[in-house]
Structure 1
Amino acid sequence: MKAAVITFPGSNCDRDLAVALQNAGAQVTRVWHKDQDLPEGTDLVGVPGGFSFGDYLRCGAIAAHSPIAAALRRHAERGGYLLGICNGFQVLTELGLLPGALMRNSALTFICKPATLNVLTTDSAFTAGYRKGQQIGIPVAHHDGNYQITPDGLARLQDGDRIAFTYGPAINGSVGDIAGILSENRRVLGMMPHPERAADPALGGTDGAALFRSVVDGVVNA
């Protein structure tokens, strides 16, 4: 399975994401935001956490207009897999590849701590390695992780079984305590918590490793 990890100015989890994917068996290529194309044969694109362009305008907004953005859209349109983590989730919403928006945390503070997530669906390549209802420990580190969507949009997510993870307990004011969502074709996942920071015993937890193994195996066997 071939994966590409995008780096924007301000990305700070790109190497961590690349290592987590490599450890799960993926062949990983690092891609700079000024590139206009993804490597040939790319199956999965990872959009990492950090502070793309310093979050000076709106989190992910400037990154969504980078030269590589058109390639990300084309990849999604042809059914490719996309994983956006933290700032990467924000980028995917700004690109219009996932619905809703990420706002300032309800307490107006930066949150950096271990978090408990509830697995709401296993019907995706990203979550198939978990059990529905399973609780996992994945760290969070964000200031703008408060996921918001209209009531109609929330209903569509719920009816389509597209809410991948919720927080338990709530931490940032997100509608429905949402921590991660899937696209309609279930091949795009955006999540605020950092599974790459819980993918090795040396990091203090391994609950995130199942996500990377799951998507690599899922793409290979698709």
Structure 2
Amino acid sequence: MSSGQQLARIFQRSLTLLSQNLTNANKGITCGCRVTSRKYQNGTFSVNRFLHTSTNLTQKNGHNFSTASDVQLQKDNDPNSKDLVISKVNDTLHREDLGRLFAVIHVQGKQRKVTAEDLVVLRGHFYPTIGDKIRMEKVLLVGGKDFTLVGRPILSRKQVKVEATVLEKTLSHFIVNFDYRPRRKLKTFNLKRDNYTVLLINSIEVNPVLET
């Protein structure tokens, strides 16, 4: 068996899948292989003579293939489609059965997916004290069961409002830091506790989408 036949067997499955998806099958499949061996040093040859391809895949499979020019893609800057989406979202926001809303907020360098009455634990120093009511300024996303509003990168203050209350400020469990270096008589043993802040998400409010 020649080297071309061996390579044809290796690539036969991939080329068969490729040939089934070709829209223009008038030209045969030509597989150019580059080999680096003792016999073929830096040489190329074609293995299409070891493969059998159909001359007309559309007639063989009975499928009607469409080209990219036949597919009409909807433009993103179409004002009619934007107005339709805005009106649907506004109608959803005015309904009584809006459901439970969720939001993705950015706080303390991390993104958290929250909903009303959720508890969020923040690690590290946090300036507000116990009992303070705060508003999350960085809201990346808000949505419900029928819609989702995504910010670029954050939503406007006029669009969404997420409020929270500081419930507790405490310390974490003891974290052991032990360092031992042999033959140097060095041993260090330290206990560390990080600051924890617990937030309660009070409410998530969404205003109707502006027409502009």
Which TM-score applies when normalising by structure 2? Answer: 0.18
Larger Rg: 2
- Greater helix content: 1
- Greater strand content: 2
Which TM-score applies when normalising by structure 1? Answer: 0.17
